[in-house]
Amino acid sequence: MSMSEDFRHFDFAELTPRERYKWLIGTVIPRPIALVTTLSSAGKPNAGPFSFFNVLTHDPAIVGIGIENKADGALKDTARNIRDTGEFIVHICDTALVEKMEICAIKFDDDIDELEAAGLATRPGLSVRAPRILKAPTALECKRMFTLEVSPARQIVLGEVVGIHVRQNLVNDNLHVDQIGMDAVGRLGGHSYSRTFDQFEHVTLTPEQWHTA
């Protein structure tokens, strides 16, 4: 660690993985939460939340999800199912979904269906076979583009969004989403969450406007 003016600097090469994790989740905030559903090759459903997630580009429409392997190095069900089937659905969580989303985060044995345990009703996607959670305000149907094996313990899945479901009362004819009505939650450090009710607008100036301001 070094001191510079009013800042403390930490060299990541000198930190443990756990220490790097704490700095990242405490400073890159809020992070959107992807509640990901998949089907195994045998047709068994699975659900799990991931906050190392975001949309990366719109043309093509790509989302990225960081997935850590299990402690013994085995793939988590989400990663294995995406590898085997090439399909998944990302659900954006609102406040009403948080408690059930946290149930899906429990490290259940393989014989437990997280969606059933959480009491979440689903129906198959339209472009993918993975189950869509009906309680979620928005669901993005995705097909895997490729997976980056960034380390023996971690991978990043890039998926193309091939369809989106938006709750009827949240979108108008101009395709504008009611962002207050979405009530999307974000992940902070530790066990904390944030809500998106406190919003403000600030329009980017053109070069001409900046020069005349």
Output the domain CATH number for residue 132.
2.30.110.10
In a domain, 3, yes or no: no
In a domain, 1, yes or no: no
pLDDT at 97 over 90: yes
Q: Show Cβ contacts of residue 33 under 8 Å, excluding neighbours closer than 6 positions.
A: 49, 50, 51, 53, 92, 93, 101, 185, 186, 187
Q: What percentage of the chain exceeds 90 in pLDDT? A: 89
Helices then strands (H, E): number in the chain? Answer: 6, 14
- Looking at residue 171, what is its pLDDT? 94
The residue range of the domain holding 185 is: 10-212
Output the CA–CA distances (angstroms, integers) from residue 95 to 51, 84, 105, 193, in the order listed: 15, 32, 16, 10
pLDDT at 180 over 70: yes
In a domain, 184, yes or no: yes
pLDDT at 71 over 90: no
Q: Is the peptide bond before 32 cis (omega within 30 degrees of 0)?
A: no
Confidence (pTM): 0.93
Q: What are the pLDDT digits (tens) for 187-210?
A: 999 999 999 999 999 999 999 999
Adjacent-strand bridge partners of 46: 38
The residue type found at 120 is: L
Q: What are the pLDDT digits (tens) for 142-177?
A: 999 999 999 989 999 999 999 999 999 999 999 999
Q: What are the pLDDT digits (tens) for 9-58?
A: 999 999 999 999 999 999 999 999 999 999 999 999 999 999 999 999 99
φ, ψ of residue 52 to 5 degrees: the values are -90, 80
Joined together, the tokens standing for residue 20 give 């790097």
Out of 68-82, 85-99, 131-145, which region has the weakest mean confidence (pLDDT)? 68-82
Joined together, the tokens standing for residue 41 give 């090759």
Structurally, how many domains does the chain consist of? 1
In a domain, 161, yes or no: yes
The helix or strand, by DSSP H or E, that contains position 116, with its residue range, turns out to be: helix 114-118
- Looking at residue 141, what is its pLDDT? 98
What torsion, rounded to 10 degrees, do the Cα atoms 24, 102, 66, 125 define?
A: -150
φ, ψ of residue 6 to 5 degrees: the values are -100, 15
In a domain, 133, yes or no: yes
- Looking at residue 74, what is its pLDDT? 87
In a domain, 2, yes or no: no
pLDDT at 4 over 70: no
CA distance 103 to 119: 10
